[in-house]
C-alpha cells in the first residue's frame, strides 16, 4: 500500500455526528408536571421536595415557572397574577392562611430546594421582583401573605435573597400613590420584628439602599416626618418611629454643621453666622445644648493646628475663642449651657493629645470673653461629673481658680 493512500474500512457505515438540538420550550408541560407532584403528595412539602429531587425536570430552563407554581399554584398569564391554562394545586403560598405558622413551612421548603439547586436563587429574585412590581394585581389578603413570606424569608436568611430585590421594585409611583406599598411594608416590618431586632431591620434596609429613604414608601400626601410618626405609632412600631426621629435629628445637625463650617471658612460676618444658627434652630427645633456642642466643634475644626508646637496651638485656639466670642455668647445664655460648653472643652482636650495642656488657657479665655461665668467654672471645679481627664484638668486649673477666689475676697 502506498504511503499516500488512506486506509478504509470496507462495509463500515460511518454515522454522522449528532447536533445538539435544543428541546422545544414548553413551560406549560413543566408547570403541569410540578403541579402533579404537589397533587400526588397532597401538599406535603417534605415529600414534594423529595419527589422534585428525584425528578428529571429541567429546573435550569424553567426556574421562573417553578416559583410561579410555588407561589400561585400554577403558571400565571404574562403581566398578571391570573392563572394560565393548565393544572393547578391549592397548596401555594397565595392559597394558605395569612399567618406565619402557615407560611413558614413554604419558606423552609424553598430553602431546601435552593440548597440543592443554588442556581435557582436568580429565578426566585426574578419572580419576587415581578410580584413586587405587580402588587395591585393581588388581592389585599394576598399582598399580606407576600409581605409575611418576604419577612420570613429575610428572617430565615433565605439563601442570600438580596433586599434590593424586594424594596427597589416597590417604588413605582402608581403603587406608592395608592398606598399599597405602605401597607405591604408595614406588614413586612411588623412580621420581621417578631423574631428580629430593630438593628437587624435597619441592616436589611441599608443593604436595600432604603435606610435614608423610608418616606419614599409613603404616598406624597403623607410623606412627612409627622406622617411617618403618626402611621407607625398607630401600627405599634414605636421603636421604628424613634429611630427615624433620631435619624432626622442627626441629618439636621450634620447639615447645620456643614453650613456653619462653610460660613466660617469664608470668613462671613458674625452677624450672618448668628442669623444662620437662629434660623436653623427655629426650623428644626434644635435643643440649645446641641447648638452649643455644634458651635464649639465647628470653631475648633476651623483652627489651623500646627502639630506638636504647643505654643502655636495655644495661640491659634485662643485667637479663635476671641474672634467668635460673640457667637458663643449669643447662644450660651444660662449656667446650664455654660456648663455644657465647659464639658465640651474638657472632652476635646481629653481626646486630643495636642490640646491636653491647653485646657486652663481655653477656660480662662472663655471667662475673659464673658462666655463662661465665674460661678460656672467654680461649679465645674468642685462638682463636675465628667470623669474623663478630670483629675488632670482640675489640678491644671487650680492656679486660675485660686486667682478667682482671691479676686472675689478682695472685692
Q: Mind listing the pLDDT tens digit for each residue in 131-147?
A: 999 999 999 999 999 99
Cell of 204: 436589611
**Minimal CA–CA distance to 65: which of 74, 52, 57?**
74
Q: What are phi and psi of 83, to 5 degrees?
A: -65, 140
**Rounded CA separation 72/107 (Å):** 14
Q: What are phi and psi of 219, to 5 degrees?
A: -60, 150
Asked if residues 358 and 317 have their Cβ atoms less than 8 Å apart, the reply is yes
Question: Is the pLDDT assigned to residue 20 strictly greater than 50?
Answer: no
Q: What share of the chain is helix, strand, coil (3-state, %, to 5)?
A: 70, 0, 30
Report the Cα 374 to chain-centroid distance in Å: 46
Q: 240: helix, coil or strand? A: helix
- Burial of 72 per CB tally in 10 Å (0-12, 13-18, 19+): buried
**Rounded CA separation 247/224 (Å):** 14
**Minimal CA–CA distance to 292: which of 347, 266, 264, 330?**
330
pTM of the model: 0.74
**Rounded CA separation 411/408 (Å):** 5
Q: Give the chain's length.
A: 411
For 367-384, what is the mean pLDDT? Answer: 93
* Cα atoms in the Cβ-side hemisphere of radius 13 Å centred on 236: 6
- Note the pLDDT tens digit of each residue in 138-197: 999 999 999 999 999 999 887 778 898 889 999 999 999 999 999 999 999 999 999 999
pLDDT-derived band at 80 (thresholds 50, 70, 90) equals low
**Rounded CA separation 329/332 (Å):** 5
- Note the pLDDT tens digit of each residue in 50-72: 999 999 899 999 999 999 999 99
* Cα atoms in the Cβ-side hemisphere of radius 13 Å centred on 141: 7
Amino acid at each position: 500500500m502506498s504511503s499516500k493512500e488512506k486506509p478504509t474500512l470496507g462495509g463500515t457505515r460511518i454515522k454522522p455526528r449528532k447536533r445538539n438540538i435544543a428541546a422545544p420550550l414548553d413551560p406549560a408541560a413543566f408547570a403541569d408536571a410540578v403541579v402533579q407532584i404537589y397533587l400526588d403528595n397532597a401538599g406535603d412539602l417534605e415529600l414534594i421536595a423529595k419527589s422534585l429531587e428525584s425528578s428529571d425536570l429541567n429546573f435550569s430552563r424553567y426556574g421562573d415557572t417553578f416559583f410561579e407554581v410555588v407561589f400561585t399554584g400554577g403558571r400565571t398569564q404574562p403581566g398578571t397574577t391570573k392563572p394560565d391554562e393548565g393544572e393547578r394545586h391549592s397548596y401555594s403560598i397565595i392559597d394558605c392562611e395569612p399567618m406565619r405558622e402557615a407560611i413558614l413551612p413554604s419558606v423552609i421548603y424553598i430553602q431546601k430546594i435552593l440548597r440543592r439547586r443554588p442556581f435557582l436563587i436568580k429565578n426566585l429574585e426574578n419572580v419576587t421582583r415581578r410580584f413586587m412590581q405587580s402588587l395591585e394585581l393581588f388581592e389585599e389578603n394576598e399582598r399580606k401573605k407576600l409581605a409575611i413570606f418576604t419577612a420570613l424569608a429575610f428572617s430565615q436568611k433565605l439563601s442570600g435573597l438580596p433586599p434590593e430585590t424586594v424594596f427597589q421594585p416597590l417604588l413605582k409611583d402608581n403603587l406608592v400613590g395608592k398606598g399599597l406599598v405602605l401597607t405591604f411594608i408595614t406588614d413586612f416590618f411588623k412580621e420581621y420584628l417578631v423574631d428580629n431586632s430593630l438593628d437587624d431591620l435597619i441592616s436589611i434596609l441599608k443593604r436595600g439602599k432604603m435606610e435614608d429613604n423610608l418616606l419614599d414608601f409613603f404616598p406624597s400626601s403623607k410623606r412627612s416626618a409627622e406622617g411617618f410618626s403618626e402611621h407607625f405609632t398607630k401600627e405599634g412600631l414605636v421603636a421604628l418611629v424613634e429611630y427615624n426621629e433620631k435619624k432626622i435629628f442627626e441629618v439636621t445637625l450634620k447639615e447645620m454643621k456643614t453650613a456653619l463650617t462653610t460660613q466660617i471658612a469664608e470668613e462671613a460676618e458674625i452677624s450672618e453666622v448668628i442669623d444662620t444658627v437662629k434660623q436653623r434652630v427655629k426650623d428644626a427645633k434644635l435643643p440649645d445644648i446641641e447648638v452649643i456642642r455644634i458651635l464649639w466643634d465647628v470653631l475648633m475644626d476651623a483652627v489651623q493646628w500646627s502639630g506638636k508646637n504647643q505654643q502655636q496651638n495655644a495661640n491659634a485656639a485662643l485667637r479663635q475663642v476671641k474672634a467668635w466670642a460673640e457667637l458663643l455668647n449669643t447662644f450660651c445664655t444660662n449656667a446650664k449651657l455654660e456648663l455644657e460648653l465647659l464639658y465640651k472643652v474638657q472632652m476635646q482636650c481629653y481626646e486630643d493629645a495636642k490640646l491636653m495642656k491647653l485646657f486652663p488657657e481655653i477656660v480662662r479665655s472663655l471667662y475673659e470673653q464673658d462666655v463662661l461665668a465665674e460661678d460656672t467654672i467654680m461649679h465645674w471645679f468642685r462638682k463636675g461629673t465628667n470623669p474623663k481627664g478630670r483629675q488632670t484638668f482640675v489640678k491644671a486649673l487650680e492656679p486660675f481658680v485660686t486667682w478667682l477666689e482671691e479676686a472675689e475676697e478682695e472685692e
